[in-house]
Amino acid sequence: MKTWSRLSLRLRLTLLFVGVLAILLSVMGWVFYQDARDLLVETTAAHLRARAKPIIEHWLYGKPLLTTGKQGTPKHRPLKEIAPFLARDLTSRNTTALILDERGRRLADGKRLPEEPDSAPPVPRYVRQALKGKNEVTYEIRRDSLPFLVVLIPLRTSPGSRNIVGVVQLTSSLASVEKTLARHGLMLAGMAFLALLAGSILGLLVVSSSLDELKTMVSTCRAIADGNLGRRVALPERKDEIGQLAHAFDGMVDRLAETMGAQRRFIANAAHELRTPLTALQGSLEVLLRGVQDDPAAAARLIQGMYREVTKLSRLCERLLDLSRMEGVGSLHKQPIALRDFFEGLLPQLERLAPDREWVLDAGPHVTLQFDPEMFRQVFFNLAQNAAQHTAPGGRIVVGWRLATRPEGVTLYVSDDGEGIDPEDLPHIFEPFYRGRTRGTDETGSGTGLGLSIVKAIVTAHGGKVEVQSVPGKGTKIILSVPFG
C-alpha cells in the first residue's frame, strides 16, 4: 500500500484502469468461451444424432430387413443380427458406434480402421438412462487428454415405441471442436490483449492529458509562490473537473492579486501620508539644529508646526488602527436597536459638526436592526463630516432609512446637495487615502483620507454594502444596505 501511494497519480490511475479492464475482459472472455464451447458441443451432438437417425431407422424399420415370422407376419430381425452392420454404418472417420443390448451388453463395435476413435467404455449409469428411454444422454470424456463426446441413442422397436431393445453409443472426437474453440480462444485473447493495450494507451493519454494540466497548475502554483502573481493556469476552454479547478484557481489568484494590490496600494498610500508630516518634522528639526533654535520666535513657530505634524501623525495612526480593527469582524458588539431612537439621539450630535447646514431626519418605518451602535455612530459621523465638508453653508443634509427586500433589511442613507463627486473619482472614493481631484481647500488638514474606508469596513463587517450616487453640482447620496440579523 505504501509503494502504491508512492507511485505517481498518472501511473496509479493507468494501472487501475488497465486492471479493471483486464478483469472485465477476462470474465467476458471466459463466459463467451464457455458459451461457445457449450454451443459447439451441443451442435456436434445434434449433428451426430441427426446423422445417426436415418441409419438407425433404415436398419431397424427398413422393410428389406424385416424377416418373416413363423406366422407369416413380418418380424424384426433380432438386434444381435443387425448390430454389426448398424455399428459399421454409424461409424465414420471421427465417430465410432457401439451397440449395446437391452441389458447393456456389447453387441457390436463399429471400429475397423485405426483412424477411427476407440469406443468409450460404456458408463452403466448413462446406459441405464438411455435404456429407460431418455433420448438426450450426452456426455464428454477425456482419453489420453483428447476430448470425446459420447452420445447415447436408445433403439426402439418402432419409432416412438417404449419397447427399447438396445442402445447405440456414439463416441465422437471433439478434437476439431476443441481446435476451433482454441482458435476462437486465441482470437479472443488476442482481441482482449489488443483492447487492453489500446485501452491502456488511451487511458494513459487521457490521464496524462488531464494530469499534464495538473502539472501546469503545479508549476503555476510554484511560480506564484515564488512571487510571480501575474501567472495564471489559463487552460483552454474546458468544462470538466480539471477545467473547473483551473478556472476556480485562476479566479482565486485574481482575487488574491487584487487583494494584495489593494494592500500594496494601501501601504504605499499610508507611507505617502506619513511622508508629508515626516518631511515637515525632519526639515523643521534640521533648521532648528542649524541654529534657528537661537531665535526664540522663529523656533517657537517651527515647534508649533512640528507639534501640528505629530498630532496629524498620531491621528493617522489611530485611524489606521481603527481600520485594521474594523477589518476583523471579531470585535463587533451587535445588539437590537430601534432605528428611530438611534437617529433621534444621533442627529443633534451631527448638527454640532456643522450648525450652519440644514440637517433633516427622514425617518422610515419603525424597525429594529442588529448592529454595533458605537461603530454605526462612527459611520454616520464620518458620512456627516464628508457631507458637511462638501456642501456650502446653508446646504441640506438628509439622514434617513427605508425598508429593503432582497436581502431583507434596511437601507440607510446620508445625502447632501453639495458639489457632488467627480465621476472619475467615484469608483475610488472608498479606497484608503484616496483623495479626489475635488479635494477642496481643507484648511485644517484634518482629513486622513480614511473616513469612507472605515465606513465601508464597518458596514461590511455588518454583512452590508455601501453604494454611492453622485451628480456633480447636485449632490451626493451614500447608501448603506444592512440585512436583518
Partner 1 sequence: MEGKERKLEGAGKPRVLVIEDEPTILEFLETGLRYEGYAPTAVREGKRGLELALEEAFDVIILDIMLPDMDGFEICRRIRERGETVSILMLTAKKEIEDRVTGLDAGADDYLTKPFSFKELLARLRALLRRSGRYREPVEFRAAGITLNVETREVRREGNLLSLTPTEFELLKMFMQHPRRVFTRETLLNRVWGYHYIGDANIVDVHVSHLREKLGDKPPRLIRTHYGVGYSFHPEEAA
Q: In the sheet where 95-101 sits, what is the strand order?
A: 106-109, 95-101, 164-173, 146-156, 137-143
User: Residue 195 belongs to what H/E stretch?
Assistant: helix 175-225
Identity of the residue, 259 or 279, whose beta carbon is nearer to partner 1 in the bound complex: 279
235-254 positions binding partner 1, by CB under 8 A: none
DSSP string, 398-443: EEEEEEETTTTEEEEEEEE-SS---TTTGGGTTSTT---S-----T
Cell numbers representing residue 204 in the block = 494513459
Q: Pick the closest to residue 29 from 21, 39, 18, 19 (CA basis).
A: 21
User: Quick check: helix, strand or coil at residue 77?
Assistant: coil
Residue placing its CB nearer to partner 1 in the complex, 257 or 288: 288
Minimum CB separation of residue 304 from partner 1 in Å reads 9
The grid cell for 54 is 436415418
Q: How far is the CB of 382 from partner 1 (least distance, A)?
A: 22
Q: Minimum distance from CB of 485 to partner 1 (Å)?
A: 45
Q: Which is nearer to partner 1, 305 or 373 (CB)?
A: 305
- Say how many residues touch partner 1, by CB under 8 A: 31
Choices 35-43, 100-108, 127-135, 273-281; region in contact with partner 1 by CB under 8 A: 273-281
Rule CB under 8 A: say whether 389 interacts with partner 1. no
Is residue 126 within 8 Å of 135, Cβ to Cβ? no
Q: In 10 A of CB 114, how many CB atoms?
A: 6
CB of 364 closer than 8 Å to CB of 330: no
- The 3-state DSSP class for residue 333 equals coil
- Residue 292 interacting with partner 1 (CB under 8 A): yes
- Site map 442..481 versus partner 1, x via CB under 8 A: ---x------------------------------------
The only residue of 62, 69, 261, 283 in contact with partner 1, by rule CB under 8 A = 283
* Region near partner 1 per CB under 8 A, out of 22-30, 297-305, 342-350, 375-383: 297-305
Q: Is 287 in the site for partner 1 (CB under 8 A)?
A: yes
The single residue among 20, 206, 278, 471 that binds partner 1, judged by CB under 8 A, is 278
Task: Give the separation between CA 226 and CA 131, rounded to whole angstroms.
Answer: 91
Q: Please, what is the minimum distance in Å from the beta carbon of residue 278 to partner 1?
A: 5
Does position 261 interact with partner 1 (CB under 8 A)? The reply is: no
Q: Which stretch binds partner 1 (CB under 8 A): 1-9, 252-260, 295-303, 413-421?
A: 295-303
Counting Cα atoms < 13 Å in the Cβ hemisphere of 479 gives 12
CA distance 172 to 465: 92
Cis amide prior to 407 (ω within 30 degrees): yes
Query: Rounded to the nearest whole angstrom, what is the least distance from the CB of residue 284 to partner 1 in the complex?
Result: 4
Instruction: Tell me how far, at minimum, the Cβ of 422 lies from partner 1, in Å.
Output: 14
Distance of CA 234 to CAs 81, 210, 221, 246, 331, Å?
94, 14, 12, 7, 40
251-269: b (≥16 Cβ within 10 Å) or e = eebeeeeeeeeeeeebeeb
Shortest reach from residue 420's CB to partner 1, in Å: 18
Q: At residue 246, what is the residue type? A: A
From residue 11, alpha-carbon distances to 22, 194, 201, 204, 276 in Å are 16, 20, 12, 8, 62
Choose which of 104, 243, 305, 436 interacts with partner 1 (CB under 8 A). 305
* Cell numbers representing residue 441 in the block: 481647500
Binding test (CB under 8 A) with partner 1, winner from 295, 341, 356, 422: 295
Q: Which stretch binds partner 1 (CB under 8 A): 227-235, 291-299, 353-361, 477-485?
A: 291-299
- Among 86-94, 227-235, 288-296, 314-322, the segment contacting partner 1 (CB under 8 A): 288-296
- According to the binding rule CB under 8 A, does residue 215 interact with partner 1? no
Contact track, partner 1, 48-87, x by CB under 8 A: ----------------------------------------
Question: What are 154's strand-pairing partners?
Answer: 167
Span of 39-47, 279-287, 331-339, 477-485 interacting with partner 1 by CB under 8 A: 279-287
Nearer to partner 1 by Cβ, of 84 and 305: the residue is: 305
Contact 415, 446 (CB under 8 A): no
The reply to whether 277 sits near partner 1 by the rule CB under 8 A is yes
Least distance in Å: CB of 259 to partner 1? 22
Q: Please state the closest distance from residue 311 (CB atom) to partner 1, in A.
A: 11
Least separation in angstroms between CB 445 and partner 1:
8
| C-alpha torsion angle, residues 394, 423, 439, 398 (rounded to 10) | 30
- DSSP-based helix, strand, coil % in the chain, nearest 5: 55, 20, 25
Residue 324 CB neighbours (<10 A): 10
Task: Please identify which residue in 215, 308, 428, 474 interacts with partner 1, judged by CB under 8 A.
Answer: 308
Query: Does residue 422 interact with partner 1 by CB under 8 A?
Result: no
Distance (Å, rounded) from C-alpha 364 to C-alpha 340?
8
Interacting residues with partner 1 (CB under 8 A): 272, 275-284, 286-287, 289-295, 298, 301-302, 305-306, 308-309, 439-441, 445
